A and B are shown apart, each in its own frame.
Chain A
Amino acid sequence: MIRLESVSKTFPGAARPAVDHLDLDVPNGTTCVLIGPSGCGKTTTMRIVNRLIEPTSGRIVVEGEDVTRADPVALRRRIGYVIQQVGLFPHMTIAQNVATVPELLGWPAARVAQRVEEMLSLVGLEPGQFLERHPRHLSGGQRQRVGVARALAADPPVLLMDEPFGAVDPIVRAGLQAELLGILRRLAKTVIFVTHDIDEAVRMGDLIAIMKDGRLVQCDAPERLLSAPRDAFVADFVGADRALKRLALITAGTVARPGPAGPGAPVVALSTSLRDVLSVLLASGADAATVTESGGSPLGAISLAMIRARAATSSQGDGAES
Chain B
Amino acid sequence: MSWTLENYDIAAIALGEHVLMVGSALAISLVIALPLGILTARRPAFYVAAMSVTGVLYTIPALALFALLIPMMGLGLAPAISALVLYSLLILVRNIAIGIREVPAELIEAADGMGYGRARRLLDIELPLALPVIVAGVRITTVTQIAVATVAAYISAGGLGDLIFQGITQDFGEKIVVGALLTSLLAIVADEGLKYVERRLRAATAERL
Contacts and interface: CB of A to CB of B under 8 A. Distances in A.
Given A87-B107, A91-B129, A136 B114 contact: no
A91 B128 contact: yes
Contact of A74 (B107, B115, B128, B207): B115
A69 to B, nearest CB: 17
B56 interface: no
Contact of B110 (A79, A86, A91): A86
A83 interface: yes
A310 interface: no
A52 interface: yes
A76 B115 contact: yes
Given A85-B106, A87-B106, A89-B125, A101 B114 contact: yes
Contact of A73 (B106, B117, B125, B209): B117
Contact of A136 (B112, B124, B128, B209): B209
| Interface of chain A, main secondary structure | mixed
Nearest to B209: A136
B154 to A, nearest CB: 44
Contact of A83 (B110, B116, B205, B207): B110
Contacts of B107: 87, 89-90
Given A90-B129, A90-B205, A73 B113 contact: no
B135 to A, nearest CB: 14
Contacts of B209: 136-137
Interface residues of A, number: 27
Interface of A: 50, 52, 73-79, 81, 83, 85-91, 100-101, 104, 135-137, 150-151, 160
Given A50-B113, A91-B128, A101-B114, 17 more contacts: A74-B115, A76-B113, A78-B115, A83-B110, A85-B106, A87-B106, A87-B107, A87-B109, A87-B110, A88-B110, A89-B107, A89-B110, A90-B107, A101-B115, A104-B120, A135-B207, A136-B206
Interface of B: 104, 106-107, 109-117, 120, 124-125, 128-129, 204-209
Q: Which 5 A-B pairs have the closest CB atoms?
A: A87-B110, A77-B115, A81-B113, A76-B115, A85-B106
24 contacts: A73-B116, A73-B117, A76-B112, A76-B115, A81-B110, A83-B113, A85-B106, A86-B110, A87-B104, A87-B107, A87-B110, A89-B107, A89-B110, A89-B124, A89-B129, A90-B129, A90-B205, A90-B207, A91-B129, A101-B115, A104-B115, A150-B114, A151-B114, A160-B113
